[in-house]
């Protein structure tokens, strides 16, 4: 059901500094910041040959990333995103197997302009999983 790894998302307390570290220290290709108001975040994508890194920074006080950074002030891995061919079929299969889909269960449009869903971390070894339809 799941396809390739789309990205690993890292919450960061300073988006500019984190982007500069990937660009200047690691020599990676760093995209521009983009606000995602529906998800309460500002993101920067780091292009790698085999996947992407998504840097997450809170967009407003109600951002879920703000809460994550309160608990983890230095930042850290927030979620892992896998690709799926049909997000509604994947959702239905996962729910039938007992997995919990966060929010309303309906996909939202993610940072790549494609439908996404998040799965409860307690159902996946403590890891928040994002599914993105390709």
CATH of the domain at 21: 3.10.180.10
pLDDT in tens, 78-130: 999 999 999 999 999 999 999 999 999 999 999 999 999 999 999 999 999 99
Q: Which two tokens stand for residue 1?
A: 């059901």
Cα(116)–Cα(125) distance, integer angstroms: 20
Would strands 108-109 and 76-84 be described as parallel, antiparallel, or unpaired?
unpaired
CB atoms within 10 A of CB 55: 26
Task: Please report which residue ranges of 40-130 form alpha helices under DSSP H.
Answer: 64-71, 87-96
The catalytically annotated residue of 16, 54, 106, 130 is 130
Full domain range(s) for residue 25: 5-133
User: What are residue 54's DSSP bridge partners?
Assistant: 9, 45
What does the block give as tokens for 105? 């269960």
Residue 11 has pLDDT above 90, yes or no: yes
pLDDT at 61: 87
pLDDT one-digit tens code per residue, 29-82: 999 999 999 999 999 999 999 999 999 999 998 999 999 999 999 999 999 999
Looking up tokens 């930042």 gives: 75
Written as six digits, the tokens of 48 are 């790698």
Provide the CB-side half-sphere exposure for 122 (13 A, CA).
4
Task: Tell me how many domains the chain contains.
Answer: 1
130 is catalytic: yes
What CA–CA distance (Å, rounded) separates 50 from 32?
A: 20
């Amino acid at each position: 059901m799941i396809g390739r790894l789309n990205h690993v998302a890292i919450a960061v307390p300073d988006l500019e500094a984190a982007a500069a570290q990937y660009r200047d220290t690691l020599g990676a290709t760093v995209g521009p910041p983009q606000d995602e108001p529906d998800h309460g975040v500002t993101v920067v994508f780091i292009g790698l040959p085999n996947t992407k890194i998504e840097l997450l920074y809170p967009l407003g006080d109600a951002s879920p990333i703000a809460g994550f950074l309160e608990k983890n002030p230095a930042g850290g891995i927030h979620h892992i995103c896998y690709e799926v061919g049909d997000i509604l079929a994947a959702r239905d299969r996962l729910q039938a197997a007992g997995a919990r889909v966060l929010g309303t269960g309906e996909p939202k449009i993610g940072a790549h302009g494609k439908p996404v869903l998040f799965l409860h971390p307690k159902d996946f070894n403590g890891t928040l999983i994002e599914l993105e339809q390709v």
